[in-house]
Amino acid sequence: MLGQPPSVSSELFVGHTAGEFPFAGGVIEVSSEATVNEAFRTLVSNNILSTPVFDSAKNAYLGFFDVSDALAIIFSVDLVLSAVPDSMLNKQLALGLARSGVGSDTAIKVASLFEASSPSETPERTPWMPVTNSTPMRDVMEMLGTTTRRVPVIDEAIGRVTKIISQSQVTTVLNNMLKKLEAGGQAIPSLFEETLTSIGGFGVRPVFCVQTEKNTTRDAFRLIIEEGVSAVGVLDDEGKLWTSISTKDIRLFTSVEDAAMQRLEVETNKRRGSIDHPESLMDMECGDFVSAVQLAAEHTHTTRIPAVVVTAGETLRNVISRLARSKKHRIFIVDDNRFPIGCVSVSDIAALLVGVQKPQTDPYSGLQSFLDTKFGNKTMDEVNFLGSVVEISSETNVNDAFRILVDKHILSAPVCEKVPGGGKRYLGFFDVSDAMSIIYSVDLIISNLPGNMLNKKKALELAKSGGSGTLDTSTYELTVGALLNGEGVWDPMSPSSTLKELISRLGVSRCKRIPIVHDGQAVKIISQSLVACTLHEALKTMEENSETLALFFEKNLLELDGWGRKPVITVNADSDTVREAFRKLIENSVSAVGVLDDEGKLLTSISTKDIRLFKSVEQAAVERCSAGISEVATMDLSCGDFVSVIQQTAEDHGDTRAPAVVVQETTSIRKIISRLAISRKHRIFVVDMERRPVGVISVSDICRILAMKNNC
């Protein structure tokens, strides 16, 4: 990137402090004990986008509650009410969900939004980075340009917030500084006279957009939530930018309860077959929703400013002026035909001016340094592995081995055998994919048995033999040792091995997991999800310390030549059975398949992990035998019904089944790693604007890039 950021900083910000940022009115706060619904009402009634959360017990601020928090909850409640069975759809459930998000009697308190069950699941929130009125303005600009959207100013004498510096105030201050120079006949720094094009195409990048008629409000808000942005562009049917939808627009719902009751009314009428049932705001076409927001603004005597646009030939000076006048946080870049080609936010400008944005061309530059400094000296001893390693004897039959996985809630376990003279050696891993192959084989055999052989005894025999025994043999039992047959993958590392070495191993080998062995004993199993968590924590720490990330992590998939775009193995929710899903998992050696609706849009996924719905191979065999006579076997369920059964089973056990995690090709690698870590998933689906799958990225894919591009 061209320009002179360091000189701009010294010319404009030296001698200026945070106290010079304007702030009208008093600071509105909410208590950490307030409910989310109450906090959202506070935002709506005061016409603000965020508010500090104060914990009286701790005598400290927790952070900000903002409209994006309310948006995430409203979106989730709306989805749940759209999917619940008719028998559960009632006002009590709707209000319960609005209060708690899970349908219990306990209302969600704002404090809970700042809690996490583990470090890897810490909520991705705007950091709380308070300053005082005497803090140098350059420091504030650097915060806004790198880590936060707003900065609280605290009076040190009383320990309370007296003003909040928002992004719109930044452009106001910048604009006034430049106007003062111009009015005094002084030259403004040359960078401001440059165009977006001459500053290395500043802001030109893929833009998150929806269409006025093809997409609904739900699509727009889902994109905002998934991409972590504050607004999306709204295009007309020719693909030209018409306006935008932002998190601010969620205030058209006056409360979470209002949104829940609206969805309840819509669903109730729809399921009763009412032709003229009312339309939910979430179901509106984006164009109609924007019109509704504009009408609401007129009724309250306010204005809804349309999207602000410039061309790449506009100067940075004019961009700042436009942002200051509109009070917007972002400005869209369009070509001569008004097709969007980029976006410049206030944080982008702040980062440019204080010199934290530097030109980089090779997207993989800096990866070697990242791996060396963050993982080159960190050993396996430092990796947090919860619990102990569960092992399976090579003499254990496959049915009992599968029961161990189910009972221990694990996906795999090392298989060991005794050696002469004492001790043991490891043969590899027995995992859920092995159990799936056996259950699938036994199911097929029983399905093709002649009627005179179809009985429970034969089903149990086949279960014990893993489908590999002859039909007239009742004594053979398949053990996990025989199953592996000397072909198990066992590629151990020592506790003193480094994380850099482990990432390389996962990237270049066919291992799904790495055992850590000390004195002949497996002490840890490093899974792909654990690697994702480790990468996420390293990147998060760098961001908190204002360290510059390697360019690779900031690039999106399109900027990496469509990395991740490849055929996705899928099944149809209604027309394909569970048997078909399992067949595709086995034949393609993948751990998950996407589940699509009739329009080819991704609904969820089925993975090898889901085989644990069968408690044992014997259960699956007996069920198939019975189904041959009277009942419908699990294998014969449609994929959609199977997923519903799994979800219900998880709820019955107080557990949750995480849906498929999705991103778009405009999502950065940093966000992909974050979502993999938080979801504890091994893979993430890449979808287009209409949620049709176009690719998939696994943790091992990321490790492969890190290993291959840097010769680890």
292 part of a folded domain: no
Q: What pLDDT score was predicted for residue 117?
A: 42
Which residue intervals of 3-63 are DSSP H helices?
A: 5-13, 36-46
Q: Which CATH number does the domain housing residue 68 bear?
A: 3.10.580.10
**Contacts with 592 (C-beta within 8 Å, 6 or more apart), sequence order:** 585, 605, 606, 607, 608, 660, 682, 683
The confidence band for 244, taking pLDDT boundaries of 50, 70 and 90, is: very high
Regarding whether 566 and 508 lie in a shared domain, the answer is no
**173 φ/ψ sector (left φ>0, alpha ψ -120 to 50, else beta):** alpha
Q: What pLDDT score was predicted for residue 4?
A: 40
Domain count, the chain: 3
Regarding whether 137 and 45 lie in a shared domain, the answer is yes
Considering 164, 181, 207, which residue would you say is the last residue of a domain? Answer: 164
Considering 121, 136, 164, which residue would you say is the last residue of a domain? Answer: 164
pTM: 0.58
- What is the three-class DSSP state of 644? helix
Regarding whether 142 and 103 lie in a shared domain, the answer is yes
- How do residues 17-64 score in pLDDT, each as one tens digit? 999 988 877 899 999 999 888 898 899 888 888 999 999 999 999 999
Q: Do the Cβ atoms of 322 and 310 come closer than 8 Å?
A: yes
Q: What burial class does residue 122 get, using C-beta atoms within 10 Å of its C-beta: 0-12 exposed, 13-18 middle, 19+ buried?
A: middle
Q: Do the Cβ atoms of 149 and 167 come closer than 8 Å?
A: yes
124 part of a folded domain: yes
- How do residues 99-109 score in pLDDT, each as one tens digit? 665 444 557 78
Q: What pLDDT score was predicted for residue 55?
A: 93
- Which domain, by its residues, includes 585? 535-708
309 part of a folded domain: no
Regarding whether 559 and 515 lie in a shared domain, the answer is no
Range name among 450-464, 526-540, 600-614 with the lowest pLDDT average: 450-464
**Contacts with 626 (C-beta within 8 Å, 6 or more apart), sequence order:** 633
Q: What pLDDT score was predicted for residue 148?
A: 84
Q: Determine the Cα–Cα distance for residues 439 and 456; give it in Å rounded to an integer.
A: 15
Q: What pLDDT score was predicted for residue 492?
A: 92
Q: Determine the Cα–Cα distance for residues 45 and 29; give it in Å rounded to an integer.
A: 13
Regarding whether 557 and 517 lie in a shared domain, the answer is no
368 part of a folded domain: no
Regarding whether 564 and 492 lie in a shared domain, the answer is no
Q: What pLDDT score was predicted for residue 204?
A: 73
Regarding whether 668 and 540 lie in a shared domain, the answer is yes
pLDDT, the chain, mean: 82
Q: Which DSSP symbol is given to 201?
A: S
Q: Cβ atoms within 10 A of the Cβ of 391, count? A: 16
Q: What pLDDT score was predicted for residue 278?
A: 59
Q: What pLDDT score was predicted for residue 120?
A: 37
Over range 473-498, report the average pLDDT.
Answer: 82
Q: What pLDDT score was predicted for residue 597?
A: 93
- Does pLDDT of 145 surpass 50? yes
Q: Determine the Cα–Cα distance for residues 112 and 39; give it in Å rounded to an integer.
A: 13
Regarding whether 411 and 476 lie in a shared domain, the answer is yes
635 part of a folded domain: yes
Regarding whether 151 and 24 lie in a shared domain, the answer is yes
- Percent of the chain residues past pLDDT 70, beyond the cut: 84
| More confidently predicted of 404 and 103 | 404
Regarding whether 541 and 457 lie in a shared domain, the answer is no
Considering 529, 546, 569, which residue would you say is the last residue of a domain? Answer: 529
Q: Cβ atoms within 10 A of the Cβ of 167, count? A: 23
How far does the chain reach from its first CA to its final CA, in angstroms? Answer: 29
213 part of a folded domain: no
The confidence band for 354, taking pLDDT boundaries of 50, 70 and 90, is: confident
Helix (H) or strand (E) holding 665: none
The confidence band for 360, taking pLDDT boundaries of 50, 70 and 90, is: very low
Regarding whether 90 and 123 lie in a shared domain, the answer is yes
Regarding whether 513 and 624 lie in a shared domain, the answer is no
Over range 306-327, report the average pLDDT.
Answer: 91
- How do residues 253-312 score in pLDDT, each as one tens digit? 877 788 778 878 877 777 776 656 557 788 889 999 999 888 888 877 776 778 899 998
